[in-house]
Chain A
Amino acid sequence: MSIDNEPNVAQSDGSQNTLLDMRNIHIEGFSDEQWHPIIKGVDLALERGQIMGLIGESGAGKSTLGLAAMGFVRAGCRFTQGEVNFDGTDLLKLKDAQKRTLWGTRIAYVAQSAAAAFNPAHRLIDQTIESASRSQLRPDAESRRDAVGLFESLHLPDPANIGQRYPHQVSGGQLQRVMTAMAMSARPDLIIFDEPTTALDVTTQVEVLASMREIVEQHNAAAIYITHDLAVVAQMADIIKVLRFGEEVEQSETRTMLSSPKQAYTRSLWSVRSLEKPEEKGEDIVLSMQNIHAAYGRVQVLHGVTINLPRGKTVAIVGESGSGKSTAARVITGLLPPGKGDVLFNGEALPADLKDRKPEHLRQIQMIYQMADTAMNPRQTVEQIIGRPIELYHDISGAKKAERIAELLNMIELDESFLDRLPAELSGGQKQRICIARALAANPDVIICDEVTSALDQIVQEGILKLLLRLQQEFGISYLFITHDIATVKAISDEIVVMYQGEVVEQGLKSEILNPPHPEYTELLLSSVPEMDPDWLTELLGSRTN
């Protein structure tokens, strides 16, 4: 495979420019009492100072391949073929003790969840300099000073003292930056970033991305950046490799990959974000929250929230974690009776508590969850799952029920061969469809969708969103769509509600909210959503400093 010459390749040791050369990697994993292939013959070559983006959907094997670059596999996995040449040495031929002298010092790893990857018992500074200290690179006191310098260039608050803290004493975004400093401490030649910003909110993600990119460039390290988020990888990588089912789909320079992907699969990944529904204004309000105040115990979560949902339309509630958007859903469904305020359904106040609501109320408002896995009883078949609401709300059984179940399965584009399957025998998208069918079985007026696509791969997301739009057109269902993803909002909503810290920042038609002028928070939120433009981050940072 050929790699285009990169403009910013490090000019080091003359002829030998290749830092990492992985050839014909095969990795297997043990599950269900058998070995299954995870990586099926992938090559990967990286030059000094180069950043490669490794993208793919869940199960593509990108994390496994990233760790393989260190000559490491997790428990229950094994290399069956291939070589991992790092700076001329095949890591797979080395003993563990020899590999350990490279890990942390010449190859470093940045994990997805910083909160879990830091040892709770040690101070951040001690963990930061651990590898440098072990390799006796320099005196510890010097490493400490250097770490403070790294903290500073990563824009951590109070860089001189933050290292004295323990992991649970700093925020997730800060921890992720400390982990980058930790990886950087021994000045490695290669850093593996394993989805380092996936767990962060968008507004935090921007800052972390910027400081990571800056420091990697500053020290001219090579990196492998693993993510499922195309827009993020576009900001970070010089070249992009697309993986699917443990095999390489294609690889090219970032701009080329974004503008003209060769493979149909890559194009399909790119095209997802083009789905957009024309907005419509609705006057007839089916569901409305009136000045809702709600609390968990003593913690006040919602402060006077008012949201209106027009009949047959989609209102998207957007916000970051802690904004109170899911709490709003719990208030509507009666799981969390509000301290103050009313939920009106067709203009009539619903009883605050679930227990006091009539079956008819319950039938009319249905809910679909983020994790279809946990939303279905793993011990019930598809037939039982969809059949129960039909039985309960419409008192239909026997042949008529079977008929109705078949009809519902058709609506969600599945067939009767799924009837006796258990949830574990379905793919992620199929599970979510069954959940949609369960909601439809009640013939509801309103469906609350709580992050229904966030856990799914891009293509599957699109399929689900299209299905939801079609069902809305056919049956006039109104959706309250809770999400943190702006692309999803663009795809499905008529109106948008922006929430921040338990309050509504603004509500209006999609065109009004997405186009300027914005309130300050909306501006921050919208501008933080990465775009599929390699210059986006640079431009954003430029505009923010001005």
Chain B
Amino acid sequence: MSDSTQSPSDYTASSEVGAVRKRRTRRERWWLALKKAPVSAWFGMLVIAGYVFVAVFAPLLAPYGEAEIFPTPFAPWDATHQFGTDQIGRDILTRMIYGARNTMGIALVTTLLSFLIGGGLGLIAAINRSWLDQLLSRMTDVIMAIPSLIFALMLLSIFKPSVASLIFIIAVLDSTRVFRLTRSVAINVVVMDYVEAARLRGEKLSWIMRHEILPNIMPPLVAEFGLRFSFVFLTIASLSFLGVGIQPPTADWGSMVRENASLIQFAQYDIKAGITPLLPAAAIGLLTVAVNFVVDWFLHKSSGLRDEH
């Protein structure tokens, strides 16, 4: 940057220097960022990778079948049942492994659906800015005026609890938050001169959406996806814990806590039995912590430390 002084006579546009960022390909940038990621982010990524691995290979990893029942209910920890059995004699370790698959799978599908609904409508509202935006925004306000767990409970009392109704209800309720975020970040992009330039050029709406807006709102949306996933995951776990979420015999961490909660009372006689109901709860907590760590780092990265001089 510290080249000698220029005079107008030897000035050329291509030699002009300024605050020019060093050129790197996308892969190089990602690799560089990964290398500099803090321990917490690495921890988070490893944990998530582990969970995904368990979820994908659940049938291979689990010692028994998902709903296989053994003669002794509440069996203690031993070689045949590493974490004992539950109230009707199912192997806890097996159900933990299948629970990873079910709970995470349902949360993932729900989050994807909620982004499809909320993200799509948010984009349309941001570009349209007319009565449609008004209508959608007011609807969102009203739905968000009811706490989502309460709303979900109410709807679940009407539709029979099932995986499909659970996914649909949570996705719709959660899409309001995705809608708000997408709309607000997209509005910040829509007012940019390059979007105006595209409109002046005569580009179609769908082209503007795909080429000008979407690529620029991806970083906050990706981070939000992580946060929404944790939130959805916790909501589903809570509903299952309350007995109105994922229904037996499907293995699921929330219901497992509920089913085995009474074991806590035996902690002073057998500490292992006492912590058994905490295992699925801890599994839920660990995944949420991991996702939060990664999102924290990602947000920090994409917001960037601005040059302050």
B206 at the interface (CB under 8 A from A): no
**CB-defined contacts of B13 to chain A, threshold 8 Å:** 412-414, 429-430, 433, 463, 467
User: Is the pair B7, A268 in contact by a Cβ cutoff of 8 Å?
Assistant: yes
Sorting the interface of chain A by its residue count into under 10, 10 to 19, 20 to 34 or 35 or more gives 35 or more
**Cβ 8 A contact of B211, one of A29, A377, A427:** A377
B18: nearest chain-A partner, CB-CB: A427
- SS class of chain A's interface: helix, strand, loop or mixed? mixed
B308 at the interface (CB under 8 A from A): yes
Provide the bound-state CA to CA distance between A392 and B203, in Å: 8
**Considering residues B200, B203, B305, which has the most beta carbons from chain A within 10 angstroms of its beta carbon?**
B200
User: Is the pair A367, B8 in contact by a Cβ cutoff of 8 Å?
Assistant: no
Residue interface bits B267-309, CB-to-A below 8 A is 1, else 0:
0000000000000000000000000000000000000011111
User: Is the pair A425, B18 in contact by a Cβ cutoff of 8 Å?
Assistant: no
Give A60-83 interface residues, CB cut-off 8 Å to B.
61, 63-64, 74-77
User: Is the pair B196, A265 in contact by a Cβ cutoff of 8 Å?
Assistant: no
User: Is the pair A76, B305 in contact by a Cβ cutoff of 8 Å?
Assistant: yes
User: Is the pair A375, B16 in contact by a Cβ cutoff of 8 Å?
Assistant: no
**Considering residues A264, A366, A376, A462, which has the most beta carbons from chain B within 10 angstroms of its beta carbon?**
A264
B19-27, B132-140, B177-185 - interface stretch: B19-27
Give A450-468 interface residues, CB cut-off 8 Å to B.
459-460, 462-463, 467
Closest chain B CB from A80 CB (angstroms): 14
B2 at the interface (CB under 8 A from A): yes
User: Is the pair B20, A427 in contact by a Cβ cutoff of 8 Å?
Assistant: yes
- SS class of chain B's interface: helix, strand, loop or mixed? loop
User: Is the pair B215, A61 in contact by a Cβ cutoff of 8 Å?
Assistant: no
User: Is the pair B201, A77 in contact by a Cβ cutoff of 8 Å?
Assistant: no
A137 at the interface (CB under 8 A from B): no
A402 at the interface (CB under 8 A from B): no
**Considering residues B11, B12, B212, which has the most beta carbons from chain A within 10 angstroms of its beta carbon?**
B11
User: Is the pair B309, A429 in contact by a Cβ cutoff of 8 Å?
Assistant: no
B192 at the interface (CB under 8 A from A): yes
**Considering residues A74, A417, A429, A433, which has the most beta carbons from chain B within 10 angstroms of its beta carbon?**
A429
User: Is the pair B200, A333 in contact by a Cβ cutoff of 8 Å?
Assistant: yes
Q: A249-B5, A268-B6, A424-B21 are in contact. Are A430 and B309 (CB under 8 A)?
A: no
Provide the bound-state CA to CA distance between A414 and B13, in Å: 7
A213 at the interface (CB under 8 A from B): no
User: Is the pair A75, B308 in contact by a Cβ cutoff of 8 Å?
Assistant: yes
**Cβ 8 A contact of A425, one of B20, B211, B215:** B20
**Cβ 8 A contact of B8, one of A30, A424, A459:** A459
Provide the bound-state CA to CA distance between A367 and B18, in Å: 24
User: Is the pair A377, B212 in contact by a Cβ cutoff of 8 Å?
Assistant: yes
**CB-defined contacts of B201 to chain A, threshold 8 Å:** 362, 388-389, 392, 442
Give B182-231 interface residues, CB cut-off 8 Å to A.
192-194, 196-197, 199-203, 211-212, 215-216
B1 at the interface (CB under 8 A from A): yes
A123 at the interface (CB under 8 A from B): no
Provide the bound-state CA to CA distance between A33 and B304, in Å: 10
Provide the bound-state CA to CA distance between A374 and B197, in Å: 10
A536 at the interface (CB under 8 A from B): no
Closest chain B CB from A363 CB (angstroms): 8
User: Is the pair A245, B1 in contact by a Cβ cutoff of 8 Å?
Assistant: yes
User: Is the pair B6, A463 in contact by a Cβ cutoff of 8 Å?
Assistant: no
Provide the bound-state CA to CA distance between A33 and B308, in Å: 13
Provide the bound-state CA to CA distance between A375 and B193, in Å: 5
**CB-defined contacts of B14 to chain A, threshold 8 Å:** 413-415, 417-418, 430
B33: nearest chain-A partner, CB-CB: A33
Closest chain B CB from A286 CB (angstroms): 18
**Cβ 8 A contact of A59, one of B5, B19, B194, B197:** B19
**CB-defined contacts of B2 to chain A, threshold 8 Å:** 40, 245, 247
Number of A-B contacts (CB under 8 A): 126
Provide the bound-state CA to CA distance between A418 and B201, in Å: 23
**CB-defined contacts of B17 to chain A, threshold 8 Å:** 427
Provide the bound-state CA to CA distance between A430 and B16, in Å: 8
Q: A31-B307, A428-B18, A430-B14 are in contact. Are A335 and B196 (CB under 8 A)?
A: yes
A259 at the interface (CB under 8 A from B): no
User: Is the pair B16, A425 in contact by a Cβ cutoff of 8 Å?
Assistant: no
**Cβ 8 A contact of B216, one of A61, A367, A378, A429:** A378
User: Is the pair B11, A426 in contact by a Cβ cutoff of 8 Å?
Assistant: no
Provide the bound-state CA to CA distance between A59 and B305, in Å: 17
Closest chain B CB from A390 CB (angstroms): 11
**CB-defined contacts of B1 to chain A, threshold 8 Å:** 245
Give B100-149 interface residues, CB cut-off 8 Å to A.
none
User: Is the pair B216, A377 in contact by a Cβ cutoff of 8 Å?
Assistant: yes
Closest chain A CB from B232 CB (angstroms): 29
Closest chain B CB from A498 CB (angstroms): 26
**Considering residues B21, B36, B211, B216, which has the most beta carbons from chain A within 10 angstroms of its beta carbon?**
B21
Provide the bound-state CA to CA distance between A263 and B7, in Å: 10
Closest chain B CB from A434 CB (angstroms): 10
A166 at the interface (CB under 8 A from B): no
A518 at the interface (CB under 8 A from B): no
Provide the bound-state CA to CA distance between A433 and B11, in Å: 15
User: Is the pair A379, B18 in contact by a Cβ cutoff of 8 Å?
Assistant: no
**CB-defined contacts of B5 to chain A, threshold 8 Å:** 244, 249, 263-265, 268
Closest chain A CB from B28 CB (angstroms): 13
A371 at the interface (CB under 8 A from B): yes
User: Is the pair B7, A369 in contact by a Cβ cutoff of 8 Å?
Assistant: no
**CB-defined contacts of A369 to chain B, threshold 8 Å:** 193, 197
**CB-defined contacts of A77 to chain B, threshold 8 Å:** 308-309
User: Is the pair A375, B8 in contact by a Cβ cutoff of 8 Å?
Assistant: no
Provide the bound-state CA to CA distance between A400 and B21, in Å: 31
A168 at the interface (CB under 8 A from B): no
User: Is the pair A427, B16 in contact by a Cβ cutoff of 8 Å?
Assistant: yes
User: Is the pair B6, A459 in contact by a Cβ cutoff of 8 Å?
Assistant: yes
User: Is the pair B193, A374 in contact by a Cβ cutoff of 8 Å?
Assistant: yes
Would you give 6 A-B contacts (Cβ < 8 Å), ordered by A?
A264-B5, A354-B200, A367-B200, A375-B197, A427-B17, A442-B201
Q: CB within 8 Å of B: which residues of A?
A: 29-33, 38, 40, 59, 61, 63-64, 74-77, 244-245, 247, 249, 263-265, 267-268, 271-272, 333-335, 354, 357, 359, 362, 366-367, 369, 371, 374-380, 388-389, 392, 412-415, 417-418, 421, 424-430, 433, 438, 442, 459-460, 462-463, 467
Known: A377-B211, A429-B16, A459-B6. 7 other contacts (CB 8 A): A29-B308, A59-B19, A335-B199, A354-B199, A367-B200, A369-B197, A426-B20
Q: CB within 8 Å of A: which residues of B?
A: 1-2, 5-8, 11-14, 16-23, 36, 192-194, 196-197, 199-203, 211-212, 215-216, 305-309
Nearest 5 pairs of A and B residues by beta carbon: A427-B18, A265-B5, A379-B215, A375-B193, A413-B13
